[in-house]
Amino acid sequence: MINQTSLLYRMLSRGDEISINQGVLDIRPASQKPVSVSWVKDNRDQLVKEVAVLLERDLLVYLDYSAGGYSSNCYSGITLQFQWLVSCVDGYAIFNADLKRAKSTKSGNKGTPLPKRQFRAGLRSKFVKFWKRSGIKMPPRLSSFHDYMGKLKQRVFIANDLEGEKLDKDSIEPFNITASEISKCYSLIADKNQTNNIQDTDKTQTIYPDKVFTQSCNRAASEGNITTGISNCGTRSSGSTDTSSSIIQYKEGKKPPSDQTNEEWLDDYNKGDLH
């Protein structure tokens, strides 16, 4: 739940700006000091979860993929596995792809199977259209996507459900929300907490009540599964992170960000214990 102890709540209350641009979490501290890349990597999923709850929307993250035959092995393709961050429900999307060599090389003859997890996607295929929507740079060859699939873990997506866990592959796209839109929704929670504290000082506000969101908050996020709280789905492997933030250099004797709790990091950050 989003409350005064939540990481997102504390950062926004300091005046930090948080947004998601083309599926990538972006943090702009009020102090204008650089944010540790390792800290962002370790806390990205938690912050995105809390953004999702704040907006009453679930967001989708990419987990892995498999390549093989489907529909009784009549067709070859790849299956992308996703998970909804808040509800922890799995999702998947199947794309057509060729699993055989297009021409003879030193590695094998034309028509022979490609190595495990390798595939070829057509330039006009729906997979390539999805890749372009993701905002990730196209690989040098249409047969080398397998070397770049991990980059999808750097993005947060939205999509429409079709049946069960199956996703509408044509609807999968990066999620976008501006810092001002997140700040506007946060203000509703902060004002509600302040009002409750004034009305009842003996009670601690631990959860936000239902229906405190305006239509503008709901419109701020693209369509997704509506949720009511944060679930613990475990930690996913996030791979490398694209970020414009520089690595924080801590003074001698200070723990590195990867070894600090959120409270320790925020305390050092506020004190300015940086070189």
Domain ranges of the chain: 7-56+178-207+233-271, 60-174
Torsion angles phi and psi, residue 185, rounded to 5? -70, -35
**Cβ proximity of 62 and 158 under 8 Å:** no
pLDDT value at 194 more than 60: no
Whole-number Å distance between alpha carbons of 209 and 205: 10
**Nearest partner of 238 among 47, 97, 96, judged by Cα:** 47
Mean of pLDDT over the chain: 78
C-alpha 186: how far from chain center = 19
User: Which token pair is 183?
Assistant: 């700040």
Find tokens 């060729």 and name the residue: 98
How far, in Å, CA of 126 to CA of 95, rounded? 7
* CA neighbor of 87 nearest in space, from 206, 218, 224, 185: 224
Lowest mean pLDDT among 49-58, 66-75, 103-112, 233-242: 233-242
Q: Give CA–CA dist 160/169, Å, rounded.
A: 8
pLDDT digits (tens, 9 = 90+) for 145-181: 999 999 999 999 999 999 899 999 999 999 999 999 9
> What does the radius of gyration of the chain's CA atoms come to, in whole angstroms?
22
Q: Where are the beta strands (DSSP E) in 99-220?
A: 156-158, 161-163, 166-167, 173-174
| DSSP assigned state of 91 | E
Helix (H, G, I), strand (E, B) or coil at 240: coil
The answer to whether 63 and 236 are in contact (CB under 8 A) is yes
pTM: 0.72
Average pLDDT over every residue of 85-109: 88
Q: How far apart are CA 44 and CA 47, in angstroms?
A: 5
3-state secondary structure 29-63: CCCCCCCCHHHHHHHHHHHHHHHHHHCCCCCEEEE
Element (H, E) at 196: helix 179-199
Structure token pair of residue 113 = 């199977």
Q: Confidence class of residue 255 from pLDDT cuts 50, 70 and 90? A: low
Mean predicted confidence (pLDDT) in 101-127? 86
Please report the pLDDT score of residue 106 as a whole number.
76
